[in-house]
Structures are given as structure tokens and as C-alpha cells.
Amino acid sequence: KNNFFSGIQYAYIFFLITFCLNMFVIYKGISGGIEKLCKIALPALFVFAIILAIRVLTFGSPDPLNPGWNIVNGLGFLWNPDFSALKSAKVWLAAAGQIFFTLSVGIGVILTYASYLKKTDDVVLSGITSVSANEFVEVILGSSIIIPAAFAFFGPSEIQTIAKSGAFNLSFVTMPLIFEKISLGAIFGCMWFLLLFLAGITSSISLAQPAVAFLEDEFNISKKKAAIIFGIVCFMLCQPAIFFLKNGAVNELDFWGGTFCLVLFATVETILFGWIFGIEKAWEEIHHGAEMRVPKIYKFIIKYITPLFLFLILGFWLYQEGMPVILMKGANPGDKPYILGIRIMLLGIFLSLAIFVKIAWQKRKPSVKK
């Protein structure tokens, strides 16, 4: 509730619109829905990001009383490393979770879309292109917009306070305040929220496709019925995040579902890929149809360094942060029942998925034996 929304009903209406748009795209399928949306959304997102980055970099020093609050110092604040942060386990875990999420690793998304490729498609070139483009937009363009702009308008001490409050406040509170203070702010603000919307919807539809594909492939459900089933289940699971936002529901979902479990599942994937599937077989599969070769050193990195590094991150976090987080130390006493409820819901989702996978595997056993 604020100056723009008198209650949750208006925000809920926009949630319904966005949810229906997601379901419509998924209902239309890969080529008829997801591909068409991405062909429009991704170039538009890229253009908006470049325009906003250029505008931010021309802010200079917006406050004459504080000439040190400028874009150059803001970029320095962003890019000059604080090596003491490397002692924090949650920094390592958050960094790993972020890169896995943005590259769709550890959640079945990249595996699902890879299944639509031809055997002769060049996955090496596609992988390098995807990762490079993603990191350019996310790290170079994305970071050139928010942090330097907030530094120039609010100063170093305030930006640290804002950053600690989370990305939500940076994106949805701080940036609108900045756009209010600049010329043509309404236009740039519109671009900013369109950018966030396009980034969000392209991510959400990609996250939905593995579940829909699983129902189609393993239970012989039609694409449209699978999309409807997924939509109903997803809609119900969205409600706690909406109505218990102030009680930490989204933060809990984001940490366990969007950070910790991603690192955990990615660790399992690296072991399966390098040890169970076999690195030699994996290497042959990677280069089937490839125009360029991956350096052989990556055999050693994939098989030994990557799983060991991820195990160290998980172990470091469990040792330094694990028990306080699990026991909800520091959480508001009134929020603890909601946090516990979210954890039970996540556990229920995981167990349900495990049961469905077991059922699907048992159905496949005869064909596997053959």
C-alpha cells in the first residue's frame, strides 16, 4: 500500500495479467510461443539496456553540493573489489547461485532446451555465444545502470544501506526516485520497467518449460493439457509468495529455491556429467558437429575442479552460515511460522517431483532394459 496503490488488489490484477501472459506463451509451445516472444523481447531488452546505460553514464555529478557523488566514482565503487568479502560464505554461495540461475544450470532448463537440438548442432559455439551475450548484458550493461546511478544521487554511505536491503529496493524503489529527478525521467522510467518486465517474463517462461515437457514426454499428456496442469499448480504455489511477502516468503523462496538448491543440484549435475556419464563420452558428445574445439584442460576442470569447488562452497556455507539460517536466528519471531511454512512447501514440491520422476522412470524401465 502506497501513494500509487491503495491496496493489494491492483497489484494482484497485474500479477494475473502477467501470469496469464506467461501461460499463453507456454500454451502456444516452443516455436509458436516461446521462440516468437524471445525474438521480440530479447532484442528490445538489449536496446533498452544500452539506452539506459548511456543515459546513466552521462549523469556526471548531479548534486552540486556533493561533487564526489558522480558516475566515475560510482563505477569505482562498483568495480573496485573488496577482498574482505571473500571471507563470507554467503557471498560465494550467492555468486554461484546467481550465475547458475542466469545460465539456467541446475534447474533442468538448459537440459530441456538442449533436447530440442539436432545431433549435429554446434553446442560449443552456441554455449560460448549464449554465455558471452548473457554476461555482457547482465554484468556490463546491468551493473552500469543501477549502482553508479544510485551512487551519484545518494552517495556511498546510502548506497551501501540500499544494497543491503536487497535488489528489490534497488530496482523498484531507488531507480524510480532517480528517474523522478532527471529530465525525460518518465520515458527512461518506462524503459526501465519494460526492461525488468521483459527480463522477468523471458526467465519465467523458460523456467516453466521443463515441467511442461516432463508431463508431455513421460506421461503422454498433450502439450496444451500439460500447460494447463502446470498453470493450475503454479498459480496455487504463487499465492504464499504474494500474500506473505512482508513475512519473508519471497526471500525464503529465493534463497532455498533460487540459490542454495541451484548450487546443490549443479554439483550433482557436474558429478553425473563428469563421472557417471563419463568425461570421455561427454567430450565426444560436446564436439559432435562443433566447428571449434574446447581446450583439453577443461576435461580436468569439469571432472575434478568444478565439483570440488562447489563442494567447498556448500561446506563453507554450512560451516559459517548454515545453522543460524536453518534455525531462523535473526528472523522476526512473527515471521517464523511463515518461513517454516514456505520451507515445508518447498520440501513438499521436491518430494512430489521425486515421486513423479520415480513413476516416470519405472515406466521407462522395460525400454531401458531392451
Give DSSP secondary structure letters for 232-243. Answer: HHHHHHHHHHHH
CB 252 within 8 A of CB 343: yes
What the block records as the C-alpha cell of 132 is 558471452
Q: According to the model, what pLDDT value does residue 313 have?
A: 97
Residues of the chain with pLDDT under 70: 1-6, 165-167, 365-370
Q: Kindly report, residue by residue over 67-121, the tens digit of the pLDDT.
A: 899 999 999 988 898 899 999 999 999 999 999 988 888 888 888 888 888 888 8
Which residues have CB under 8 Å from 170's CB, separation 6+? 146, 150, 162, 163
CB 81 within 8 A of CB 174: no
The whole-angstrom separation of Cα 255 and Cα 321 is 13
Could you give the maximum distance between any two Cα atoms of the chain, in Å? 77
Sole residue written with cell 509468495: 241
Q: According to the model, what pLDDT value does residue 158 have?
A: 83
The residue type found at 55 is R
Taken in order 20, 26, 29, 32, is the CA torsion positive or negative? positive
The whole-angstrom separation of Cα 218 and Cα 212 is 10
Q: According to the model, what pLDDT value does residue 146 have?
A: 87
Give me the residue spans of the domains in the chain.
8-81+88-357
CB 284 within 8 A of CB 119: no
Q: According to the model, what pLDDT value does residue 314 have?
A: 97
Q: According to the model, what pLDDT value does residue 232 have?
A: 96
Q: According to the model, what pLDDT value does residue 21 have?
A: 93
Q: Kindly report, residue by residue over 222-254, the tens digit of the pLDDT.
A: 989 999 999 999 999 999 999 998 898 999 999
The whole-angstrom separation of Cα 316 and Cα 1 is 40
CB 209 within 8 A of CB 110: no
CB 290 within 8 A of CB 122: yes
| Model confidence pTM above 0.85 | yes
CA 92-133-255 angle, 5° bins: 30
